[in-house]
Amino acid sequence: MSPKATATGPGRQRVAASTGDSVPAAVEPSTAWAEYLAAARQLDGVRRSAAAAAGEQARSAETAREELTVVRTGLASQQERLRELGVPAISLVPSPPEVSEASRSMAGGPAAVLAALRAARGRAEAADAVLAARPRFRPGSWPARVRNLLVYGPLALVVPLIQVAVYAATGVGPASVAALICGLPMPAVAFVAGWVGIGRLFRVSPAERLDRTVRLGALVCLVPAVLVTAGLLLVLLAG
């Protein structure tokens, strides 16, 4: 046998072992297939989780939009009722710190927005319950004549009552005459004051016109002054 001949069979394996060369072990097909199936299952699980999360976010966003519509409608109605009760418009607008706090509470995505909207709806419904439980004294919703009489009436009685009080305190004298003379232009002053007061106390929408019942106001302001002036004049003349 030639010295350059290559040994085969077991002898070759012994030579390889003696020289220190390593032969890679063959991978079993069943093991590779099992690893592939495990990776495929893991990838499918990740895909399903991502799809479920996206679907949940979409549902939360849609529910949040519906909740926002309900909350806006309720708040608009509540603001109108509060304005009728005399609450200043500036008190119905959120302050900058409140806006910042609401923005931070909704920074977690659609789910956080939905939770904040539901909390706001709960607070609005609680406020509606408080308003409904309170006795309603709302002259602004009364008929115009009755409502305006609450303003014209007290103003029309102020000066005649002062004149009667002066006469009762001083009797027939210069003070009673001065009170009588000063009271002559007072019906016009009371009417103007009532006109302005009705505009300040009772608000209407820009599309409506506030009914100040001019004839009723003039009559209410004039009659007490005329009656008291006539009575005092007769008493002074008799005295």
* pLDDT tier, 69 (very low <50, low <70, confident <90, very high otherwise): confident
Quote the CA–CA distance of 149 and 215 in Å, as a whole number. 12
Residue 43: its pLDDT value, please?
82
CA-CA distance, 218 to 196, in Å (whole number)? Answer: 14
**pLDDT grade for 141, boundaries at 50, 70 and 90:** low
Looking at residue 83, its amino acid is R
Task: Tell me the percentage of the chain whose pLDDT exceeds 90.
Answer: 5
Burial class (CB in 10 A: 0-12, 13-18, 19+), 238: exposed
For residue 9, pLDDT beyond 60: no
Name residue 41's amino acid.
Answer: R
| pTM over 0.85, yes/no | no
> Would you say residue 150 has pLDDT above 80?
yes
| pLDDT of 2 higher than 60 | no
Say how many Å lie between the first and final Cα of the chain, rounded: 170
Residue 221: closest CA among 166, 149, 145, 144: 149
Query: In whole numbers, what is the pLDDT of the chain averaged over residues?
Result: 75
Rounded to the nearest 10 degrees, how much is the dihedral formed by the CA atoms of 6, 10, 12, 14?
A: -140
Higher pLDDT, 170 or 26: 170
Q: Can you give the pLDDT at residue 28?
A: 66
